[in-house]
């Protein structure tokens, strides 16, 4: 059995995350534009090491930076759904949510010449309609939920959460969930953001953050058989010099753990075929 798999994922939000917040001054937009500046650096880093990855790209980014998105595909990486203009779907009506997914799906299908297989909801925001919509679109997987860490699972639909009675689980679907975590996301650790009413301090030391990331993988390798760890980056965040050097050192250290890097569509397909990722087996390794 494998020692474990790491999925490096990059959310190429570019302008969309700021436009969605209606923060469209040149200053905010330039922060998104830096994401496009950084993409070639990241592709070079991954290409030099032969690491496949998955990129979640809003339809707006594909329409704005089509050449870069084609470079991502040309590098052997996967491009998957991430809204049209980084919508928080819980702020949309069911019809609007369906329209956003369909529009983005069409844009990504035109880009790649084939339909996308995966989705990550912007800001990991979902509604009770999200999973059914993804199933309607024929997607294989989603990567927006946090109820596990090293084991993919099948997303459920039809749950109920009454305030005066027990939780109703709903039914598992055929949609594979590749779980995520804010702690394994570069954005809250690094991005400084002052909204006027709240401050996200960010600006952490790169090696401190990557030590946390590394220990999550090390724990997986020690206590799980064939686990999967999904790590989330944003080009506009990770693309700064000290963070890219930190990422390089992190990848060097991961090499010592003998894990594999894999695209998320490949992991989801293998899970569907019955690969039992992420069995808890404490004490089996040191």
| Cα–Cα distance measured from residue 161 to residue 174, given in angstroms and rounded to the nearest whole number | 22
* Residue 11 near Zn ion by CB under 5 A: yes
Per CB under 5 A, which of residues 12..51 are in contact with Zn ion? Answer: 13
C-beta of 232: minimal distance to Zn ion in Å? 9
Residue nearer to Zn ion on the CB measure, 61 or 220: 61
User: Which CB sits closer to Zn ion, 91 or 284?
Assistant: 91
Shortest reach from residue 13's CB to Zn ion, in Å: 4
At its nearest, how many Å lie between Zn ion and the CB of residue 123? 7
The answer to whether the beta carbons of residues 186 and 203 sit under 8 Å apart is no
Stretch that binds Zn ion, among 3-11, 69-77, 141-149, 206-214 (CB under 5 A): 3-11
The whole-angstrom separation of Cα 24 and Cα 68 is: 22
CB 111 within 8 Å of CB 69: yes
Residue 185 interacts with Zn ion (CB under 5 A): yes or no: no
Does 149 participate in binding Zn ion (rule CB under 5 A)?
A: no
Strand duo 171-177 + 153-157: pairing: antiparallel
58 vs 35, 61, 159, CA distance in Å? 13, 5, 28
Minimum gap (Å) between residue 165 Cβ and Zn ion: 35
Give residue number: closest CB to Zn ion.
11
In the chain, which residue ranges form alpha helices assigned H by DSSP?
Answer: 16-20, 26-49, 59-64, 66-74, 94-112, 130-136, 186-190, 206-223, 235-238, 241-256, 264-272
* Dihedral sign, Cα of residue 259, residue 261, residue 267, residue 270: negative
Q: Are 162 and 126 in contact (CB under 8 A)?
A: no
To Zn ion, the closest distance from the beta carbon of 248 in angstroms equals 23
Given the complex with Zn ion, which of 5 and 144 has the nearer CB atom? 144
Residues 207-246 that bind Zn ion (CB under 5 A): none
Span of 120-128, 169-177, 215-223, 241-249 interacting with Zn ion by CB under 5 A = 120-128
**Measured in whole angstroms, how far is the alpha carbon of residue 7 from the centre of its chain?**
9
Q: Choose the binding region for Zn ion from 69-77, 121-129, 207-215, 245-253 (rule: CB under 5 A).
A: 121-129
From 46-54, 119-127, 219-227, 277-285, give the range in contact with Zn ion by CB under 5 A. Answer: 119-127
Q: Where on the chain is the footprint of Zn ion (CB under 5 A)?
A: 11, 13, 122
């Amino acid at each position: 059995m494998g020692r474990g798999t790491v999925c490096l994922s990059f959310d190429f939000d570019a302008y969309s995350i700021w436009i969605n917040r209606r923060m469209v001054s040149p200053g905010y937009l330039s922060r998104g534009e830096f994401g496009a500046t950084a993409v070639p650096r990241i592709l070079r880093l991954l290409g030099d090491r032969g690491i496949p990855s998955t990129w979640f790209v809003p339809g707006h980014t594909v329409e704005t930076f089509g050449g870069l998105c084609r470079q991502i595909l040309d590098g052997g990486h996967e491009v998957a759904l991430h809204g049209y203009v980084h919508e928080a779907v819980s702020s949309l009506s069911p019809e609007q949510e369906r329209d956003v997914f369909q529009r983005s799906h069409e844009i990504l299908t035109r880009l790649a010449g084939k339909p996308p297989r995966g989705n990550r909801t912007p800001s990991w925001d979902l509604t009770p309609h999200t999973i059914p919509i993804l199933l309607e679109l024929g997607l294989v997987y989603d990567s927006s939920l946090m109820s596990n860490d090293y084991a993919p699972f099948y997303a459920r639909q039809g749950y109920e959460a009454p305030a005066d009675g027990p939780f109703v689980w709903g039914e598992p679907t055929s949609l594979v969930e590749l779980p995520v975590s804010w702690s394994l996301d570069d954005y809250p650790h690094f991005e400084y953001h002052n909204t006027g009413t709240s401050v996200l301090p960010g600006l952490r030391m790169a090696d401190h953050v990557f030590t946390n990331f590394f220990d999550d993988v090390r724990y997986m390798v020690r206590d799980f058989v064939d686990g999967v760890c999904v790590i989330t980056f944003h080009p506009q965040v990770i693309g700064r010099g000290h963070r890219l050097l930190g990422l390089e050192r992190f990848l060097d250290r991961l090499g010592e753990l003998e894990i594999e890097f894999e695209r998320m569509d490949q992991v989801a397909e293998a899970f569907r075929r019955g690969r039992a990722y992420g069995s808890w087996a404490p004490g089996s390794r040191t």
